[in-house]
A and B are shown apart, each in its own frame.
Chain A
Amino acid sequence: MSRRRIRGDEPWIARELAALRGPCPVRVDVRARVMAAIRAMPRPGLAPAAPGRWAAWAALAATVAMCAALGLAAGRLIDQRELLGELLRAGGPAAWDLVSAVRAIVSALAAGAWDTARPLATSCWRFATTRTEWIETGAAVLATAVVTAALAAAARLASRQAAVRIEER
């Protein structure tokens, strides 16, 4: 085998390919056909698929955010249960929820039992703070839902506007 052949320089291939070079025997005129088809199509870059894709990304982001918020909320719930346990331990059976715990604190303070009232009040404060966070988490979930709805509405509007522009053309 010659050195040229080893290097991949195959003159016979070049000759074979040259034989295919002849002009195409078919003359085509597809202008009218293509024009008719593109008149029924959205303008490049204005395809309705684009807002759809945008909405899909927005929905995905919103879902992730909602999952995170719900995860956070579940965490808070566990904290709350722990804190309720704390309340029970601190205030006894009388403090089985926040209202009864507050009532128990008031009773302890009235009786001058500061040592009983203080841990109960601390637990109550933490419980109340957690409840506030729980509300914040709920608000975050609600806000995410509102944003998702707004994005979906915007995507629908963009899609409708694209359709109107196509109609106008």
Chain B
Amino acid sequence: MTEPERPPYSSIAGLAWPALPPPAGQSMLAICFQLELSQWLDAQTLRQQQLRQLRRLVEFAHAHVPHYRGHLSRAGIDGAAAIDAESFLRWPVLTKTEIREHGQDLAATSIPASHGSISWSTTSGSTGQPLRAATSGIAALFQQAVLLRMQSWYGVDPQSKLAVIRMTAETPYSGSWGAPTDLAFRTGPAVKLSAFESHEKQLDWLCREQPGCLIVHNANLQALLRRSRLHGKAPRGLRTVMGFSDMASPGLRGMVRDIWNAEYFDTYSCAELGPLALQCREHANLHLQSERVFLEVLGADGAACAAGEIGRVVVTDLHNFAMPLIRYELGDYARLGPPCPCGRGLPVLAGIAGRGGQTAVDPTGRSFFPRLNFDFWLDVAAVQQWQVAQLAPADLEVRYVGERDLTADEQSQLASEIRKAMRYDYRIAFTRLAVIAHAPGGKFDDFVSLHHHLRTTDG
């Protein structure tokens, strides 16, 4: 199925294989070599190495980042060297509100020159609260190394054409994939399209461009696949589809295979830290990218969740000294799973419960994270995109984009599936829309709560 591995390119005349790429490519491959080995470390060794790096970060943050100056003593930790999985649980969680309100105090007063230059970016995150984050050159390098790992895991041929559909598509065409791939490898061209284009236009564009590899929001992908099936139109030559951002339905992989004859892989990332978890090469599990990110799943009381227990996702970027995000609460909910049968020691993120992180309620007072991304949506061909909104404790609205109005039968079938999934007999209204708006920043919530009192208040 996969092409033979493409070796890197060489910057030295006459030396083609093995290659010596330019210095930036050498740095990238030096990290990639370590990632090749570290993925097979056992979970305990991985944790030891994470803590070793974490202590360096905390030591730096304590000395150079005003926001963290008192954190060690407030957490009752006797110096950075005393950081371990236990004591770290006492380190205060960093909320988006804190970043928004105290952003200046989170930037390091200075960073070592060897960490490279600092770049600023703006993100909304999954809860739609925009914030600015600073990233060091070194942290960006490590983020990029994980992206290269992703391409390697999924057998992506860098010499094929890459298509990206995301919110911004400032360079619709470029001769190469850009960093990190072209730091060490010859690549094919890359084409980009805005996800705000209609699905009709997106699909036509894919059929015209015929990329080998596609990167796309999961919700957008699902809409594209439905349209593709409805119109019998599929991009030719597509081999690999990598989904990101929104929650992937369990049936998405099968749809990509059936409708486009391509392999689908899910990823979990955030703008501030880059990839957090990548789907296993051999299994449906998402592997935490432990070399980059220290990820915790916490219960309501702040204690670490047991495997299988759903809790809040709190992450630490191990390498970004420009603006250390230490125990940063993303607003997502997830649970850790049992070890993956592939043998990699990288922990498994078994489920990300509602990447939008919005809770549903019912009139009995139960609040929960609705998982509505089931295959029954696929059975109703007229629905290209959907969103469920909670208007009141007993009232839901199904918003959908489609070619035509749903029939009464289709509505009743969907309503019964939703009631079954949400375990309450809600009143359900159906509204057909021309477009369903994304949250600021481009993430798409399949469930939104408009019921004022339902919103979580800690984010």
Q: Do A and B bind each other?
A: no
| A residues in contact (CB < 8 Å) with B | none
| B residues in contact (CB < 8 Å) with A | none
